[in-house]
Chains A and B, each alone.
Chain A
Amino acid sequence: RTVEPLEYYRRFLKENCRPDGRELGEFRTTTVNIGKCLCSITTADGSALVKLGNTTVICGVKAELAAPAADSANKGYIVPNVELPSLCAERFRSGPPGEEAQAASQFIADVIENSQMIVKEDLCIANGKLAWVLYCDIICLDYDGNLLDASVFALLAALKNVQLPSVTINEETGLSEVNLKQKNPLIIRKHPVATSFAVFDDTLLIVDPTAEEEDLATGTVTIVTDEEGRLCSVHKPGGSPLTGAKLQDCITRAITRHKEVKKLIDKVIKSITPK
């Protein structure tokens, strides 16, 4: 396995399975913890911890107030940031964010924008004066492949958990008054779910790659779908060329995965909402 990793993997792939016992289209066990009781971040407005096999990603959402931009006076901001600290894997050094972290941050920002899961107009409190800024910090605690899927899932779960205090602007003083007692949940319009695939030897597609599989793969594809079966993102950063038919296989699997994830999230949200 250490001397000829590719040959080792090929032998398994020929039998249509993988060294950890999974089928080619099978995901690793997914667990999600949402909220202040189960998740450790007590200072965040919303938080979630997602484990996809060994890959552990935590997302904390903090809401702050700011003045909206001049050209979009009725829009708030959502600022995602993905961090890959050196504690999650040997290959990540401490220091400024590497290419992978930055590309992942851009990907998450694109997914939020493309899927319109949060409409920026919903974050506006007073036109031109006050709007919410949601800082979404996604930190990987253990990197074992498939960062993008786990990050998108963690973001979705954390945002579902966010409770925004109601804000009113005092007419006379012009200052904002935050009412922490009255909280409203964030309006989430769409629920995008990402499904990543690794391409082996230009032909074989496997779902949810581990870090070892990602290193051996010749390419990766990530498909993000929402609940209506629409594609929010097709992210294929280079790698071996794929035909349209292969992409269609990926999309079909992604749509199935979306249903599984949505069911899981709904179950967890229901279990933590106070009756």
Chain B
Amino acid sequence: GVLERSREQLLRQTCEAVVLGVLHPRTAITLLLVPWGPLTPPQLLSCCLNAACMALLDAGLPLAALFCGVTCALQPDGTILLDPTARQEQEARAILTFAIASSERKVLMANTKGSCSVEEMHQCMAAAQRAADTIFQFYRDSVRRRYSKC
């Protein structure tokens, strides 16, 4: 449907920005993402981003930078919740999803649901950038584990 197309466009353009396509001319890279278990749309988006990046890593494709997906929920009282549960998302007045690149923690992709003020968006972005460090550490640990076994 229309929602899936819009998600695909977000993911595709994010991946296109990091994959060094110049090194592989006349090649098509297909990413197939199958959601597993109950996921709300914003959670799904950041999960897909993380899964896509790890899959690209695993495939050994040359990447300009790593990226990770972070979901921020803005509660009615102004507190920022990272990686919210489904119920927290429902109560939130805005949900922002960012794809943060590993190079200087710049923003690769941004998608918002609900409205927020400019300061709140910056706060969420800063929180997402800090959280990106944790996620990149997870990437490093996973890759290390994979290659230490075999």
Binding site for B on A (CB under 8 A): 99-100, 102-103, 105-107, 109-110, 113-116, 218-219, 221, 226, 229-244, 247-248, 251
Contact = CB atoms under 8 A, between A and B. Distances in A.
B6 A103 contact: yes
Contact of A244 (B12, B101, B125): B125
Given A234-B121, A238-B17, A105 B2 contact: yes
9 contacts: A106-B5, A109-B2, A110-B113, A114-B115, A219-B13, A229-B118, A230-B116, A236-B108, A237-B13
Interface in B64-119: 65, 94, 96, 99, 101, 103-104, 106-118
Contacts of A116: 115
A241 B118 CA distance: 19
Nearest to A251: B118
Interface of B: 2-3, 5-6, 8-17, 65, 94, 96, 99, 101, 103-104, 106-118, 121-122, 125-126
B17 A239 contact: yes
* Top 6 A-B residue pairs of the complex, sorted by shortest distance between their CB atoms: A238-B13, A241-B106, A238-B14, A106-B6, A102-B5, A236-B110
A229 B112 CA distance: 15
A242 B107 contact: yes
A241 B112 CA distance: 17
Nearest to B94: A114
B108 A243 contact: no
A230 B114 CA distance: 10
Residue with the greatest number of chain B CB neighbours at <10 A, chosen from A103, A229, A235: A103
Contacts of A231: 112, 115-118, 121
A176 B67 CA distance: 55
Contacts of A99: 5, 8-9
A244 B101 CA distance: 13
A244 B122 contact: yes
A60 B57 CA distance: 47
Contacts of B12: 238
Nearest to B13: A238
Nearest to A105: B2
B114 to A, nearest CB: 5
A243 B107 contact: yes
Contact of B112 (A234, A242, A244): A234
B101 A241 contact: yes
A223 B4 CA distance: 21
B125 A247 contact: yes
Given A99-B5, A114-B115, A244-B122, A237 B14 contact: yes
Contacts of A239: 13, 17, 108
Given A234-B110, A235-B111, 4 more contacts: A99-B8, A100-B9, A236-B109, A241-B107
B92 to A, nearest CB: 12
A272 to B, nearest CB: 29
B126 A226 contact: no
A242 B106 contact: yes
Given A107-B6, A114-B112, A241-B65, A236 B107 contact: yes
Contacts of A241: 17, 65, 101, 103-104, 106-108
A133 B34 CA distance: 33
